[in-house]
Homo-oligomer: A and B are copies of this chain.
Amino acid sequence: MDISTIAGLISGIVFIVVSIMMNGRLGLFFDAPSVMITIGGTFASVLISYPLNKFFNSLKSARLIFQTKEFNTGNVIQRIIDLANIARKEGLLALEEAAQSMEDKFLQKGILLIVDGTDPELVRNILETELAFIEGRHKEVQGFWETVASLGPAWGMIGTLIGLINMLDQLNDPSAIGPAMAVALVTTFYGSIVANFFANPVANKLKIRSSEEVLLKEVMIEGLLSIQAGENPRIIEEKLKAFLSPTLRDTVKENNEGETKAGE
């Protein structure tokens, strides 16, 4: 459960609602036709922009902002050092068993390639191609939400223009001008909320999640190739810890002290 997403969504909604109710009435800001033209128009444009399967995949991706990743880089480094120790003591083939119980498909695939005796250059090639495509698919989903974030305010403005043009055309009753303009502006309000309270923050959190996953997989690739090259586990640890921030680095060090010494 991603606490910051929940906290941000709830506090943002509270701020908006309280802010509206201090000087006005909430009902004014719920307007079905305004929802239709802003949200409906935005998704009509997004539908033209994306094929149906990418459209639904990207929509579904929004739920990822509520999830936290199970794995962290420190654990992965620890796991790789364990594997390196196994490989040094019992040989590369002993890794096959360890791979069976592995929940991470990427790491598992890498180990199986090593166990198969695949050429190191080809192992790197296969894993890096796969990582590049994972990153590409992540970028596509982020791009989807950035498209939503740019189309939302645009359709908000289209809604406001429709409201304004209708109002200006019927300018005979001065007392109706205010409320009509108020309604016309509601779509601009919606468009701005869609972009700044939803689509852009979603794109941003997905981007950070993606960079964390890519970093993790880069650590895996470096580690796997070092294991295949038969490098000393202590050197592997030193190499992989360069991927960590200094604070995280110390936690790994403490856990490993015993094992890596034994594995030398």
Taking beta carbons and an 8 Å cutoff, which residues of A are in contact with B?
2-5, 7-9, 11-12, 15-16, 18-20, 22-25, 28-29, 33, 36-37, 40-41, 43-52, 54-55, 65, 68, 105, 113, 118, 122, 125-127, 129-130, 133, 137, 140, 147, 150-151, 154-155, 157-159, 161-172, 175, 177-182, 185-186, 188-189, 192-193, 195-198, 200-202, 204-205, 208, 235, 238-239, 242-246
Q: Which residue of B55, B238, B246 is within 8 Å of A105 (Cβ)?
A: B246
Q: Is the CB of A165 within 8 A of B29?
A: yes
Q: Which residue of B44, B169, B208 is within 8 Å of A24 (Cβ)?
A: B169
5 smallest CB-CB distances across A and B, nearest first, come from A171-B178, A8-B47, A12-B44, A24-B166, A48-B201
Q: Is the CB of B157 within 8 A of A202?
A: no
Q: Which residue of B36, B51, B155 is within 8 Å of A4 (Cβ)?
A: B51
Q: Is the CB of B205 within 8 A of A51?
A: yes
Whole-angstrom distance from the CB of A200 to the nearest CB of chain B? 7
Which of A16, A19, A68, A204 has the most chain B CB atoms closer than 10 A to its own CB? A19
Q: Is the CB of A44 within 8 A of B197?
A: yes
Given contacts A105-B246, A140-B208, 9 further A-B contacts (CB under 8 A): A11-B40, A15-B37, A16-B158, A23-B167, A29-B165, A48-B201, A48-B204, A118-B235, A158-B193
- A11 touching B44 in the complex, CB below 8 Å, given contacts A4-B51, A51-B205, A147-B204: yes
Q: Is the CB of A158 within 8 A of B45?
A: no
Contacts of A18 in B (CB 8 A): 33, 36
- Interface of chain A, helix or strand or loop or mixed? helix
- A20 touching B133 in the complex, CB below 8 Å, given contacts A105-B246, A154-B196, A192-B157: no
Q: Which residue of B20, B49, B133 is within 8 Å of A243 (Cβ)?
A: B133
* CA gap between A178 and B182 in the complex, in Å: 16
Contacts of A126 in B (CB 8 A): 238-239, 242
- A208 touching B4 in the complex, CB below 8 Å, given contacts A15-B36, A122-B239, A165-B185: no
Whole-angstrom distance from the CB of A218 to the nearest CB of chain B? 9
- A49 touching B200 in the complex, CB below 8 Å, given contacts A24-B166, A179-B171, A239-B125: yes
Q: Is the CB of B4 within 8 A of A16?
A: no
* CA gap between A25 and B177 in the complex, in Å: 17
Contacts of A239 in B (CB 8 A): 122, 125-126, 129
- A19 touching B45 in the complex, CB below 8 Å, given contacts A4-B50, A162-B24, A208-B50: no
Q: Is the CB of B192 within 8 A of A161?
A: yes
